[in-house]
């Protein structure tokens, strides 16, 4: 298994993986209409390029010459209303924006490897907390708890088109 930073030329691979993974991951959580809306909103090439411009680093996982998953993270993440005192307290955060593995490959430790990979990058950049959002009804929440994350809050995010993301915010202190 190889984890590498994705180039802009590889963004179509991420898009294609998302279109394979999301219908399975969110089958029982989202309507087809919301699923398609979110895939178009988040995973169009234009949207992925904008995310890269906004400091998201995308990772690709390759095994046996096949791409099997991806993640993205953002170092020194700050929420819009967050007070910048945290830097003085050495509580810089790395946000895991995305973490997805093909359904047929899940439960083989790849997600854990991705978290550990991002964890090492966070530590090397003096970030002491990993943070992520997960849909409150997503089974992945249990995976994150097994990795040491705890639920710190609930958020509802309006993503347009009358759709709301109903998420837990989870953190892991490094």
The stretch 90-107 carries a mean pLDDT of 91
Q: Which residues pair with 131 in a beta bridge?
A: 95, 171
Say what the pLDDT of residue 58 is.
Answer: 98
Q: Which pLDDT tens digit goes with each residue over 30-85? A: 999 999 999 999 999 999 999 999 999 999 999 999 999 999 999 999 876 544 44
Look at 109 and 78; give whichever has higher pLDDT.
109
Say what the pLDDT of residue 79 is.
Answer: 74
Task: Reply yes or no on whether the pLDDT at 86 is more than 80.
Answer: no
* Structure tokens, 20: 């394979």
Cα separation, 130 vs 75, in Å, equals 9
* Angle at 95 (CA atoms; ends 17, 143), nearest 5 degrees: 65
Indicate the burial class of 107 (C-beta count within 10 angstroms; 0-12, 13-18, 19 or more): exposed
- Considering the segment(s) 2-173 as one domain, its CATH architecture is 3-Layer(aba) Sandwich (3.40)
* Angle at 112 (CA atoms; ends 109, 113), nearest 5 degrees: 85
Domain boundaries of the chain, sorted by first residue = 2-173
Q: What is the mean pLDDT of the chain?
A: 93
Say what the pLDDT of residue 114 is.
Answer: 98
Nearest to 18 by CA among 97, 91, 87, 75: 97
């Amino acid at each position: 298994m190889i984890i590498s930073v994705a180039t802009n030329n590889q963004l179509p691979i991420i898009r294609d993986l998302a279109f394979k993974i999301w219908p399975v991951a969110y089958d029982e959580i989202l309507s087809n209409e919301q699923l398609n809306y979110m895939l178009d909103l988040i995973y169009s090439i234009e949207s992925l390029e904008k995310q890269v411009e906004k400091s998201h680093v995308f990772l690709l996982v390759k095994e046996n010459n096949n791409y099997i998953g991806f993640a993205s993270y953002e170092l020194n993440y700050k929420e819009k209303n967050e007070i910048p005192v945290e830097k003085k307290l050495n509580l810089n955060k790395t946000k895991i924006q995305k973490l997805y593995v093909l359904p047929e490959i899940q439960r083989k430790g790849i997600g854990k490897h991705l978290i550990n990979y991002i964890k090492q990058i966070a530590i090397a950049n003096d970030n002491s907390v990993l943070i992520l959002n997960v849909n409150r009804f997503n089974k992945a929440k249990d995976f994150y708890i097994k990795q040491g994350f705890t639920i710190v809050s609930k958020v509802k995010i309006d993503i347009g088109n009358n759709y709301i993301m109903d998420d837990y915010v989870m953190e892991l202190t490094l």
